[in-house]
Structure 1
Amino acid sequence: MFGNYFKIAWRNLIRNKAFSVINILGLTIGLVCSLLIFLWVADERSIDNFHQQGSQLYLVYERQILTDKTIGGYKTPGMLAGEMKRAIPEIVKASNFAWIDDTPDRLTFEEGNKIIKFDACYADADYFQMMSYPLLKGTAATALSAPGSLCISNKMAAAFFGSADAAIGKTLRCDNRKDFTITGVFKDLPDNVSAKFDCLIDWTSFLEDNSWAKEWGNVGPNTLVLLRKDANPAQVEAKIKNFLAKYNTDHHKVELGLQPFGESYLNGDFKDGYISGGRIAYIRLFSIVAIFIVLIACINFMNLTTARSAKRAKEIGIRKVAGAARAVLMRQFLSEAILMTVLSVCLALVLVYALLPLFNQLSNKQLVFPLFNIYFWISLAGLTLATGLAAGSYPAIFLSSLKPVKVLKGALKSGSNDIRLRKGLVVFQFVLSILFITSTIIVSRQVKYIQQTNLGYDRENLIYVPVEGNLASKYEVFKQSALNAPGIKGISRIGEPPTAVGSRTWGVEWEGKTPDNNPLFTQTAIGYDFVKTLHLKLVAGRDFSLDFASDSAGYLINEAALKVIGYKDPIGKPLTLWGRKGRIVGVLKDFHFSSLHDAIVPLILHNGEQNDYGHILVRTVSGQTKQALASLGEICKTLNPKFPFTYSFSDDAYRNLYNSEAVVNKLSTCFSFLAIFISCLGLLGLAMFTAEQRKKEIGIRKVLGAGMVSLFTLLTKEFVFLILIAFLIASPFTWWLMHTWLQTFAYKIHMEWWMFAVAVLLIIGVAMLTISYQSIRAILMNPVRSLKGE
């Protein structure tokens, strides 16, 4: 029986080629969009969710309760893991880790004549016993247990020694200052890891190189804990809430919390000290978009099928007269819908496979087609069935309900309920299309605002060179050589890149500070000529200068810090940072030194001209970057031969802050225009239906002398009216949605009326182009043909 249904369905597809192509095209495009989105969503959800002990693995976060606000984050003291493991029985394994939410350290490793840079992180001895990173050589219990231990990836082992077997037990020199023994080789990390690294260094070595991490008042590393299988996470979290009270000597309260490690990638944002979402918002948004695009495609199918109802009316009437029950007819039409969906799915799979490389470029992913994933095929089968039933349900109900007496007499006419439903479906399509287009315009404007906003310093023609090896001790020689080289106009230095200054402290004192006032300041070290090199603006005082010996203990502050400190005439006033007394020499106009998601916070800059860490800032002459890089490369090769010359552009570092927004902008643009295209196919269906229903009316009007303009207006004004209704429905919801998204930025655009107007005018224009052909075709039909049955 079902075989007969599909045989008839196939014949109908072949007989009505144009109709079939339009229908299959709409479903195919909708399914392609949805499948690509679901592959992206599945990949995002898989990140950090493959660990065998994932249900017991938690990330510790801090909630710092300040005088005026509460802030949260994953940065914790560097001694926390060991203390928690000793004090909390439910914690069976614990590891500090640097860094999960920051970029890994790019270190230089040397063996023989091979000098290569690799990404390095640091972890405690328990780390490999907690995480599911398979070791090819070495054991999880001992890989990071001894000081001077180094665990490397299989890729790193092959680069230096040819294989994992040859690497174990060998020594690598790190940054030309310390030797590490290879105690383990792990399998290269998969793509679905948030914190990627090529090697891990033991935590003892980290503490030796970063003495600040031994002090409980300083935070920076992350802390991972593994709970007992029978432990109650809520009870453990209650135990650790005030864990730092006995270690904390500052005048502020710090609470600890636990978050499942597998959730931290998608839920990494904090609000008022508590986790409040993150990337998960984009997952939900695009999941809804995928569902809506499939719905739009299904609505197209409904409208196109019912538009052809007049052509199939006599077939239905004859079959009913011959004894066909309504249930039989419904199964027939559902079979046709499912067959068309199966064909669309097959085409969609081919297109997804072909488009995946392009989609990976748009989304910055490494997605692969899940050919051998049984869950993918089960989900696809469910999607096919659901789409077929959704697309075919209304046509099956509508067509099977036709009365044989009326259709055989040629008196087929849709009822008002049917017409309202079809119009309602079209309105729904365009509500979604207007929402997509308007949202795309707003997201695009915000991304453009981010890219073009004045940060308070000039990020163009600015290069970062890491301070490593001999550059630390030979910085003055480097600076003078570089300033005399072609293409270079300014040199300074900073402890952290200007886009990632994030080291925070309470250790600040000044005249008039009260004991209960303990605000949080961001701080970093800078060199001479910092203001000049970054093109910053001073509102008072001056830059650090070699002409003033006291500047070695001086401070520059921004306007936000001055508001907190409260000095009326700040230049020359005393300021103490971590017990180091000095004086304020300059006040900088506020500038952005982190993401635009965050408001500018109080900043203190202290003199770090002699520091052995950080980045050298190089200001190049516009248009001479190539010459400048060649000069810098030669200078570094001479002064620092054991380290490959590496650099990064300020523009690139800034853009990397907004990778998620850039991806959302690209994807939303693509999917918005595809949604309009699919919606216009639905509009074509309604235009076909209207023309079919009103062809006799048009013939009569033509006989009575109606012109083409009046007839065209008659056929198109209804569609414009539907789009305007969709606009009135979509606008408030779009405003609310985009307003909510923009609130995640401290600095943002303002939504304007023209953003909504452009969306509706664009859709009206495209819609008019879509329906014009069908309307003009109906108008040009000879009235003799349309009226000959009367």
Structure 2
Amino acid sequence: MIKNYLKVTWRNLLRNKAHAFINMAGLSVGLVCSLLIMLWVQNELDMDSWFKNGSRIYSVYELQNYDHKLHGNYNTPGRTTEEMKKTLPEVQYGVNMGFDQWDTFQVGNKILKISGTSAGEDYFKIFSFKLLQGSAKTALNTPASLSISHKMANQFFGSADAAIGKTIRYENSKNFTVTAVYEDMPNNSSQKFDFIMNWYQFLDENTWARDWGNQGPSAVVMLRPDADPVKFAKKIPHFLDTYNGTIRKTSNFIIDLGMIRYSDVYLRGNFEDGKFVGGRIEYVRIFSIVAVFILLIACINFMNLTTARSVKRAKEIGVRKVVGAVRSALIGQFIAESLLITTLSVVVSLVLLVVLLPFFNQVTQKQIELPFYDAAFWLKLVSITLITGLVSGSYPALFLSSFNPVKVLKGALKLDTGTTLFRKGLVVFQFVLSIVLITGTVVISGQMNFIQSKNLGYDRENLVYIPLEGTLTAKYSIVKQEALKMPGVQSITRITTTPTNIQNGTGGVDWIGKDPNVSIQFTQASVGYDFVKTMNIKVLQGRDFSKDFATDSVGYIMNEAALKRIGYKNPIGQPLTFWGKHGKIVGIIKDFHFNSMHEEIKPLILRCAENENYGSILLRTQPGKTREALASMEKLCKQLNPAFPFNYNFSDEEYQKLYQNEQIIGKLSDAFAFLAIFISCLGLLGLAMFTAEQRFKEIGIRKVLGASVSSLFGLLSSEFMVLVVIALLIASPIAWYATSKWLQGFAYRTPIQWWMFALSGAMIILIALATVSFQSIKAALINPIKSLRSE
């Protein structure tokens, strides 16, 4: 019987090639989209979930209660896990980790800039990265210990074996011994470090991290196998009270601790009112829904086209029933047809998947591989094939098998009103989903354009960041003096961090009239002379820091948000105490964006620190002369700092990095919206072809009676246009709600305007009209003699 089903199915496919092609094309495109999204979603869900003891590994986070709000972050004091291991019996291992860093290493004449971090000695006991050389016990157990990746070992020593025990020069200031070589961190790890230094090295370079009142490093603990995570979570909120309890007693600035499974941090990184909200998990959910929608659109195509062509197969069904075919056999036949078409579509989609995956990886900045050797992948693929085949074939099978053989063989078969309405409803549903996707694409594009065009409060064009490292930190005054003589250099200053990522906060600010019952957090940074000038920030009151004023060493510049919180009416010259240093306010600057637009502009205080021993040079070049200025700077830096390669970053590029996720999501949305429309239009084309075929004789009669080509075109097209307009009316409120929720993740966002929906509607109507117009015009131009010849 199965052999017979397949034979009949194959003959039907060959007999109706156009119908089969449209069905297979729609299903193949829908399947390849869904498979790409499935691989991406799986990659996101697998991130950091593969560690051997993953169920016992937790990240510790802080909840800071200040300014009557609860703020969460993953920054903790630098000695948190060290004390937790001593005082909390549930903790088996604990590790503090520093910031991601790019440092210079040298072996012989080879000097390379490498990415890495600092971590406690329990690092490899918690995270089960494979060690090629060395052991987890000794990898980071001394201040001179250095663990490196296989890649770094090959770069400097040629192999992992050759690297172990060797000395490597760090920042041209210290020697480290390679105590372990680990396998390059896998793609499904959020950590991508090529070196890891001992934690005490970090504390020596960043003495502030030893202070319990400072936060910055991250903390990760692994609980003992018999520990109860729920009970442990209840013990740690007030853990810091022992070390900085005076803060809780003397102010409203309260710090509590919490914990979250380490594998969840990557997906749930956002806090709001002290709770986890959103993060990358939102995109996982959105695209999972998109994958289902696109596959559903493809299935609807199949159902619609098969149902619409039912008249063509009516006589076949009637004859089969007359000669004794039972309904269950007919249902089996049509389900078999659906499964065969789906299987062929899956094969085509796998070929497309192999071709498209490199481009998909390039867009998503991932390294996803096809898991052909993974049984789970094939199980999912078989499940998708069966579900798709059954969903797309179930209604046509039930519908076609229900035909009355007497009516069919008499030629009296007509589709009832319910069937026609159902078919139209499917078309409307398809286009509702397509319109929601295309409207989302328009809104995302509008937000990205808003981000690109918004005035940040400073000029990011022709602004270059050069890291202060090696001897440049001590020779900054020479660098500045020489740079100002170079052609193409307009201005130069320095800052402790890049202007697009100023994160350091403090509550250690006092002023006259401060409410002792309110704790306010200020973002702070130290900058050099001419910072405001170099950044091209508008000065509202007062002036920039200048070498002409010796008192600027205890002078402060603040933004509008900070002035609003402090409340001075005439701020210039007013006293301000910062970390116990008494000084005066010398300038008020207009608010500028120093973080992404996901966050509101925070109160910012700038301290003058022309001779700070770390940070970056900010170089403002003259328009059109950036290359010339950088060439001169490179020559100067190599002369003053020969042990370090010359590195720089452009401000506008660093700004773009703040929105990498949104840019990727925008590109994916564009692609999937286009493909959803393509699939929907394939179905529309198939229905237009069938409608024209069904009304072949009607068109001939109308032409004989004098109907024009344009009137016939309108007659054939209007039915479909009405369906698209109905879909637009239904989709608009859905799209508005969905895009509003997405935009809420931005503190600064473009308003949702009527023209966005009008643009989406116009696009979808034009695309649908173009889809059906060819077939409608072709039918309207047919010679009526051909259609009426048999009458």
- After TM superposition, the structure 1 stretch with the greater mean CA deviation from structure 2, 589-598 or 681-690, is 681-690
Aligned twin of 2:399:
398
1:563 aligns with 2:559: no
Question: What secondary structure does 1:367 align onto?
Answer: coil
Aligned twin of 1:409:
410
1:111 aligns with 2:107: yes
Aligned twin of 1:160:
156
Whole-angstrom CA distance in 2 between matches of 1:256 and 1:299: 50
Aligned twin of 1:315:
316
Instruction: Within 5 Å, give how 1:132-143 maps onto structure 2.
Output: 132-143=128-139
Aligned twin of 2:43:
43
Question: Does the aligned pair in 2 maintain the 1:63–1:274 contact within 8 Å?
Answer: no
Whole-angstrom CA distance in 2 between matches of 1:752 and 1:728: 16
Instruction: Within 5 Å, give how 1:348-747 maps onto structure 2.
Output: 348-747=349-748
Question: Does the aligned pair in 2 maintain the 1:413–1:693 contact within 8 Å?
Answer: no
Instruction: Within 5 Å, give how 1:237-386 maps onto structure 2.
Output: 237-248=233-244, 249-250=246-247, 251=251, 252-386=253-387
Whole-angstrom CA distance in 2 between matches of 1:162 and 1:769: 61
Instruction: Note the alpha carbon deviations across 1:286-313, whole angstroms, 9 max, x for none.
Output: 1111111111111111122223222222
Question: What secondary structure does 1:308 align onto?
Answer: helix
Whole-angstrom CA distance in 1 between matches of 2:721 and 2:241: 66
Residue of structure 2 aligned with 1:195, choices 162, 169, 191: 191
Whole-angstrom CA distance in 2 between matches of 1:16 and 1:8: 12
Q: Which amino acid in 2 is paired with 1:247?
A: Y
Whole-angstrom CA distance in 2 between matches of 1:665 and 1:392: 34
Give the Å deviation of 1:581: 1.6
Whole-angstrom CA distance in 1 between matches of 2:339 and 2:635: 67
Question: Does the aligned pair in 2 maintain the 1:245–1:253 contact within 8 Å?
Answer: no
Aligned twin of 1:55:
55
Question: Does the aligned pair in 2 maintain the 1:306–1:689 contact within 8 Å?
Answer: no
Question: What secondary structure does 2:103 align onto?
Answer: strand
Give the Å deviation of 1:485: 1.4
Aligned twin of 1:183:
179
Whole-angstrom CA distance in 2 between matches of 1:24 and 1:52: 43
The total of aligned residue pairs comes to: 786
Whole-angstrom CA distance in 1 between matches of 2:110 and 2:785: 88
Whole-angstrom CA distance in 1 between matches of 2:479 and 2:653: 24
Whole-angstrom CA distance in 1 between matches of 2:636 and 2:373: 52
Whole-angstrom CA distance in 1 between matches of 2:478 and 2:426: 72
Question: What secondary structure does 2:415 align onto?
Answer: coil
Question: Does the aligned pair in 2 maintain the 1:307–1:688 contact within 8 Å?
Answer: no
Whole-angstrom CA distance in 2 between matches of 1:494 and 1:554: 15
Residue of structure 2 aligned with 1:208, choices 189, 204, 209: 204
Instruction: Note the alpha carbon deviations across 1:585-635, whole angstroms, 9 max, x for none.
Output: 111100000010000001111012101100100111111221122111101
Whole-angstrom CA distance in 1 between matches of 2:309 and 2:116: 65
Whole-angstrom CA distance in 2 between matches of 1:212 and 1:783: 90
- After TM superposition, the structure 1 stretch with the greater mean CA deviation from structure 2, 113-122 or 264-273, is 113-122
Question: What secondary structure does 2:181 align onto?
Answer: strand
Q: Which amino acid in 2 is paired with 1:48?
A: D
Aligned twin of 1:2:
2
**Residues 1:789 and 1:327: Cα distance change in structure 2 (over 3 Å):** farther
Question: What secondary structure does 2:143 align onto?
Answer: coil
Question: Does the aligned pair in 2 maintain the 1:307–1:692 contact within 8 Å?
Answer: no
- After TM superposition, the structure 1 stretch with the greater mean CA deviation from structure 2, 549-558 or 299-308, is 299-308
Instruction: Within 5 Å, give how 1:94-109 maps onto structure 2.
Output: 94-99=94-99, 104-109=100-105
Whole-angstrom CA distance in 1 between matches of 2:431 and 2:746: 29
Instruction: Note the alpha carbon deviations across 1:59-91, whole angstroms, 9 max, x for none.
Output: 011110113311100011111011111111111
Whole-angstrom CA distance in 1 between matches of 2:505 and 2:435: 44
Give the Å deviation of 1:703: 3.7
Give the Å deviation of 1:685: 2.6
Give the Å deviation of 1:784: 5.1
Q: Which amino acid in 2 is paired with 1:313?
A: A
- After TM superposition, the structure 1 stretch with the greater mean CA deviation from structure 2, 200-209 or 401-410, is 401-410
Give the Å deviation of 1:105: 0.9
Q: Which amino acid in 2 is paired with 1:161?
A: F
**Residues 1:789 and 1:231: Cα distance change in structure 2 (over 3 Å):** farther
Instruction: Within 5 Å, give how 1:210-225 maps onto structure 2.
Output: 210-225=206-221
Question: What secondary structure does 2:89 align onto?
Answer: coil
Whole-angstrom CA distance in 2 between matches of 1:276 and 1:142: 39
Q: Percent identity?
A: 56
Instruction: Within 5 Å, give how 1:25-40 maps onto structure 2.
Output: 25-40=25-40
Aligned twin of 2:140:
144
Question: Does the aligned pair in 2 maintain the 1:144–1:151 contact within 8 Å?
Answer: yes
Question: What secondary structure does 1:314 align onto?
Answer: helix
Give the Å deviation of 1:559: 0.7
Whole-angstrom CA distance in 1 between matches of 2:495 and 2:382: 56
Q: Which amino acid in 1 is paired with 2:571?
A: P
Question: Does the aligned pair in 2 maintain the 1:302–1:395 contact within 8 Å?
Answer: yes
Instruction: Note the alpha carbon deviations across 1:141-197, whole angstroms, 9 max, x for none.
Output: 121111221111111111111111221122212111122121111111111221321
Question: What secondary structure does 2:534 align onto?
Answer: helix
TM-score of the superposed pair, with normalisation by structure 2: 0.98
Question: What secondary structure does 2:547 align onto?
Answer: coil
Give the Å deviation of 1:112: 1.8
RMSD: 1.3
TM-score of the superposed pair, with normalisation by structure 1: 0.98
Q: Which amino acid in 2 is paired with 1:105?
A: Q
- After TM superposition, the structure 1 stretch with the greater mean CA deviation from structure 2, 415-424 or 481-490, is 481-490
**Residues 1:788 and 1:394: Cα distance change in structure 2 (over 3 Å):** farther
Aligned twin of 1:228:
224
Whole-angstrom CA distance in 1 between matches of 2:342 and 2:694: 27
Question: Does the aligned pair in 2 maintain the 1:60–1:259 contact within 8 Å?
Answer: yes
- After TM superposition, the structure 1 stretch with the greater mean CA deviation from structure 2, 299-308 or 344-353, is 299-308
Give the Å deviation of 1:108: 0.5
Question: Does the aligned pair in 2 maintain the 1:125–1:202 contact within 8 Å?
Answer: yes
Give the Å deviation of 1:265: 0.4
Give the Å deviation of 1:552: 1.2
Whole-angstrom CA distance in 1 between matches of 2:490 and 2:34: 51
Instruction: Note the alpha carbon deviations across 1:307-353, whole angstroms, 9 max, x for none.
Output: 32222221111111111111111111111111111111111111110
Whole-angstrom CA distance in 2 between matches of 1:155 and 1:678: 44
Whole-angstrom CA distance in 1 between matches of 2:609 and 2:5: 80
Whole-angstrom CA distance in 2 between matches of 1:681 and 1:514: 67
Whole-angstrom CA distance in 2 between matches of 1:114 and 1:37: 42
Aligned twin of 2:22:
22
Question: Does the aligned pair in 1 maintain the 2:22–2:686 contact within 8 Å?
Answer: no
Give the Å deviation of 1:702: 3.2
Whole-angstrom CA distance in 2 between matches of 1:111 and 1:403: 86
Question: Does the aligned pair in 2 maintain the 1:444–1:665 contact within 8 Å?
Answer: yes
Question: Does the aligned pair in 2 maintain the 1:84–1:94 contact within 8 Å?
Answer: yes
Question: Does the aligned pair in 2 maintain the 1:72–1:271 contact within 8 Å?
Answer: yes
Question: Does the aligned pair in 2 maintain the 1:533–1:617 contact within 8 Å?
Answer: yes
Aligned twin of 2:765:
764
Question: What secondary structure does 1:243 align onto?
Answer: coil
Aligned twin of 1:74:
74
Q: Which amino acid in 1 is paired with 2:73?
A: G
Question: Does the aligned pair in 2 maintain the 1:333–1:396 contact within 8 Å?
Answer: yes
